[in-house]
Structure 1
Amino acid sequence: MKIQQVEDKAFSTYGRVLEGYALSPLLKAMEHTPLPKGEVIYVPGMEELEDLPVANAFKDRAFGGLPIQVGFCNGFNTYLNAVEYHRSSEINVAVTDMILLVGRQQDITEDYTYDTDQIEAFLVPAGTAVEMYATTLHYAPCMTSEKGFRCVVILPKGTNTDVEIPADAKGEARLLTARNKWLIAHEDAKIEGAFCGLKGENVSV
């Protein structure tokens, strides 16, 4: 799969690189977060990260003063497995080099399926902050080495936390798996309870 650079113009469809944030304390704090061998873990919010001055900078500048959560996604992954989207931008800060697999919400069909041939890959260098727009399909980052990846994830507060979903959910409601999280899975990923609407190969890098 062709891996592009997050600085390339092609990424402007999906998001942008953020400049002017004091990331060093955030990157330092992430060094001791869990990195389980052979797994991917996601923590929506971590107090130690949220107490850093840079968290307020992201809240005020990137989210216009909205309450936010600062968590992380760490682990070992080389597959797409699923795509998700939110009603808001998501900010990722690459602690290690990592690859984002992204697509466009506009390419989801009327029956909520999506062709994985449309996925693009972008390398995010360590120490880079990127905003992914609300219409950008994404999921867990992919690693660039056998050491795995670490990624800060910043979202409006409450995103990706538990939500009660009606058993008779139809249409887009079938995709809701958590607060502010709509997800379409690939059948190969075997994500329990998820709507399997990804068509084609489970893309890998």
Structure 2
Amino acid sequence: MESHNIYEKKFQNYGRILSEYDFTELVNTLRNHTPLPESGFVYLSSCKELEALTVFPELQNRAFGGLPMQLGYCNGYNNTLNCLEYHTCSELCVMAEDVVLLLGQRSDIDRTDYTYDTGKAEAFFVPAGTGIELYATTLHYAPCNAHAGQGYHVANGLLLGTNGQCPALDKKGEDQLLAGCNKWLLAHPDSPEAGEGAFIGLKGQNIRIYQEG
């Protein structure tokens, strides 16, 4: 599929570039002090090493207006959409390597059956060292490698508690999508997450950025 650049005006529908921060220390810590699995990806919602950096209180006070936040990471290898999720807050992402993000609009979810047509998703190239804010209206999931065989380290900043334990609810309507605290997720039927019981809400192609092998 066609890949756009976050410097294109089109990206403003999904988020903005965090040009007002110095992410040098954060990027170096991601690369040197957080794990990169041999395959797949690993997510940690709150990483003490990242939260000890000087940029953390700056992000908390400026990007979230002083609300308590968490700073963790998503590191690994991925080339397939598999799922899309959303939160009721923005998500901050800082890339230590080049990645591609597959993004959609929450407003494009069909609320009659809570499905989303993956043909509406768009791909955006994000260069290493860049920080972005993804708006709460943006559907997103794990980054994809921009280059085959090259893993990624990405820092993720969210309101404190996001992606924690899912509240106990009688799963009806949109509540069927709730997969964790402040985490609503739509899985593709071909995804591993669907096999683990996630709500199947993506229809159409399970987008793949590149073919392996």
Amino acid at match of 1:173: D
- Deviations 1:159-189 (Å, cap 9, x if unpaired)? 00112333x3100100000000000000111
**Residue of structure 1 equivalent to 2:177:** 175
Distance 1:67 1:78 in 2: 32
Q: Which residue of 2 aligns with 1:152?
A: 155
What do you get for the CA RMSD once the two structures are aligned?
A: 0.8
Alignment match, 1:20 = 20
Aligned to 1:89: 90
1:199 corresponds to which letter in structure 2? K
Report the CA distance between 1:198 and its aligned residue.
0.4
Deviation at 1:2, TM superposition (A): 0.5
The answer (yes or no) to whether the contact 1:165–1:176 under 8 Å persists in 2 is no
- Point out where structure 1 has 5 or more consecutive residues left out of the alignment: none
Cα distance in 2 for partners of 1:20, 1:12 equals 16
How many pairs are equivalent?
204
Give the Cα–Cα distance (whole angstroms) in 1 for the partners of residues 38 and 59 of structure 2: 30
Identity %: 49
1:99-120 deviations in whole A, cap 9, x for unaligned? 1100000000021000000000
Q: Which runs of 4+ in 1 moved over 4 A?
A: none
Aligned to 2:48: 47
One-letter code aligned to 1:200: G
Deviations 1:6-36 (A, max 9, x none): 1110000000101121211111111131111
Q: How does 1:31-180 map to 2 (within 5 A)?
A: 31=31, 32-110=33-111, 111-145=113-147, 146-166=149-169, 168-180=170-182
CA distance in 2, matches of 1:94, 1:65: 23
Q: Which amino acid aligns with 2:94?
A: V
- Secondary structure, aligned partner of 1:187: coil
- How many Å apart are 1:149 and its aligned residue? 1.2
Tell me which amino acid in the other structure corresponds to 2:142: A
Give the whole-Å Cα distance in 1 for the aligned partners of 2:63 and 2:153: 21
Report the alpha carbon displacement of residue 190 of structure 1 after superposing the two structures with TM: 2.8
